[in-house]
Amino acid sequence: MAKKQQRVVYFNGEYVPESEAKVSIYDSALMFGDMVFEMTRSFNGQQWKLREHLERLYTGLKILRIPLKLTIDEMEAAVYETIERNKPSFNDDDEHRVLIDVTRGLLSLYHGIDGVEPGANVIIADFPLRWTIQGCSKLYETGINLKIPSQRAIPSHLMEPKIKNRSRLFYLMANIEVSMFKGENNWALMIDPDGFVTEGTGSNFFMVKDNVLYTPEGRNILRGISMQTVIDDLAPELNIKVIEKNLEPFDVYEADEAFMTSTPFCLIPAVTLNGLKIGDGRPGPITQSLLNKWGEIVDLDIVKQIKAWDKNIESSDTTTPYKFSNSKNATLTMDIDED
Ligand SMILES: Cc1ncc(COP(=O)(O)O)c(C=O)c1O
């Protein structure tokens, strides 16, 4: 589907063309990044773990004390209604990527402006998943190269990363830094101020050592729905033990395999850390078997579908949640070479 074509979004109880859904310049989201959000996906058109995404969203709303009249059931119904209304503008082979944003609304300082509603804004948008993961299909074969940027992950006692919020400047800074490293397919792997591995800038981290899966304990990370899928659904099916513990870069250097998880791409192998091979420097068999199992559960060849989408893309050099593209930014010219 061409981006030019308008989709319909849910905006505070109404369904409007996406170009007409506008948030005030005085919204607290613009002032403080004061909002929560979710990004879901479908497999074969069926939303995957939507309820889990909504539960994470409502926990964030509760902790941030953003009052919302809309109940979780109403929100869920609005998501399905948005998908339904947009179906005619999707290709048959598209998956639905649903973006749910909730902002606090106006700070009280700005209440009373004519024509500006003060309360929380709820936005539900539905667009093709291929936008988010275009160009990713080759990464299932090559793997990605993890780089630890100097930008640290923010620990939970400073700002709670378990809330999926939009105060994300530190993730962007990590991506900008990593975009200046030489080489291809570089993704940031962040460590916290104690030096423990946390997560990527839009994904969770796993490593395999002696047939056991390890992932950072859920303290200074967003507890991903995909991460939980690996722990609760896939690993038990394959009789693989999972240990959540503090991991240092040293542990990753000693690992046999590693991979990242996130809703859009499910699971992508990581083959180096800071230029050093993880295992034999190729996607590993356990990573592959977890991905296969995921495909079995959702009845879809996950990689084949992304490959088919990639046949039609013009350029994959775009900024994504995982990678900052500086190709159009002349000010970023420094190359960092750590190999
Ligand atoms: C910082 C961060 N970590 C991890 C994830 C993976 O979470 P999920 O599997 O729920 O998509 C995301 C997803 O966007 C994220 O933004």
d(CA 84, ligand 1 centre) in Å: 25
Same domain assignment for residues 36 and 146: no
The reported pLDDT for the residue numbered 313 is: 76
CA angle 222, 244, 204 (to 5 degrees): 35
Residues in Cβ contact with 279 at an 8 Å cutoff, skipping those fewer than 6 apart: 255, 256, 257, 258, 271
Task: Look up the CATH number of the domain holding residue 263.
Answer: 3.20.10.10
Ligand 1 atom with least separation from CA of 222: 3
Output phi, psi for 304, to 5 deg: -60, -40
pLDDT of residue 314: 67
Atom number in ligand 1 closest to CA 201:
1
Strand 212-215 relative to strand 242-244, pairing: parallel
Query: Do residues 147 and 260 share a domain?
Result: yes
pLDDT of residue 330: 40
List pocket residues of ligand 1, CB cut-off 6 Å: 39, 199, 202-204, 222, 224-227, 261-263, 321
Give the whole-angstrom CA distance, residue 95 versus residue 128.
6
Q: Ligand 1, residues 101, 160, 170, 203: which to mutate, most atoms within 8 A of Cβ?
A: 203
How much is the pLDDT for 315?
Answer: 66
Q: Decide which of 128, 149, 167 is a domain's last residue.
A: 128
As separate numbers, helices (DSSP H) first and strands (DSSP E) second, the chain gives: 11, 15
Shared domain for 304 and 172, answered yes or no, is yes
Q: Does some domain include residue 316?
A: no
The segments of the chain whose pLDDT lies below 70 read 1-2, 4, 314-316, 326-339
Measured by CA distance, the residue closest to atom 16 of ligand 1 is 202
Q: Which of 293, 156, 316 is nearest to 235 (CA)?
A: 293
In a mutational test of the pocket of ligand 1, which residue from 43, 222, 226 has the highest number of ligand atoms less than 8 Å from its CB?
222
The pLDDT assigned to 68 comes to: 95
Residue pLDDT, tens place only, 18-69: 999 999 999 999 999 999 999 999 999 999 999 999 999 999 999 999 999 9
Whether 145 and 275 map to the same domain: the answer is yes
Protein residue closest via CA to atom 2 of ligand 1: 202
Structure tokens at 256: 């046999």
Write the DSSP assignment of 86-140 as a string of letters: HGGGS-TT--EEEEEEEE--B-GGGTT-TT---S-EEEEEEEETHHHHTT-TTHH
**Can you give the pLDDT at residue 324?**
86
With respect to residue 329, please indicate whether it lies within any of the assigned structural domains: no
User: Do 190 and 251 lie in a common domain?
Assistant: yes
Q: How far is CA 25 from CA 32, 69, 154, 162, in A?
A: 12, 23, 27, 27
Claim to verify: residue 109 and residue 44 sit in the same structural domain: yes
Specify the number of domains making up the chain: 2
Same domain, 73 and 156: no
Choosing from 99, 128, 157, the residue where a domain stops is 128
pLDDT of residue 320: 80
Residues 247, 186 within the same domain:
yes
pLDDT at 231: 98
* CATH number of the structural domain spanning residue 91: 3.30.470.10
Which residue's alpha carbon is nearest to atom 14 within ligand 1?
Answer: 202
Q: Are residue 34 and residue 178 in the same domain, yes or no?
A: no
d(CA 37, CA 50): 13
pLDDT at residue 30 in the model: 96
- Assess if residue 166 is contained within a domain: yes
Is beta strand 266-273 parallel, antiparallel or unpaired with respect to 144-147? parallel
Q: Ligand 1 mean position to 224 CA, how many Å?
A: 5
- Domain limits at 179? 139-311
> What is the CB-side half-sphere exposure of residue 320 using CA atoms within 13 A?
24
* Ligand 1 atom showing the smallest separation from residue 56 Cα: 10
Nearest atom (ligand 1) to Cα of 199: 3
User: Quick one: 208 and 80 in the same domain?
Assistant: no
> Which residue lies with its CA nearest to atom 5 of ligand 1?
203
Residues 116 and 165 in one domain: no
Ligand 1 center to residue 114 CA distance, Å? Answer: 38
> Which of 128, 153, 175 marks a domain boundary?
128
Tell me: do 35 and 121 sit in the same domain: yes
Distance 49 CA to ligand 1 centre (A): 14
Atom number, ligand 1, closest to the C-alpha of residue 164: 16
- Relative to beta strand 8-11, strand 14-17 is antiparallel
Q: Which residues partner with 204 through β-bridges?
A: 199, 261
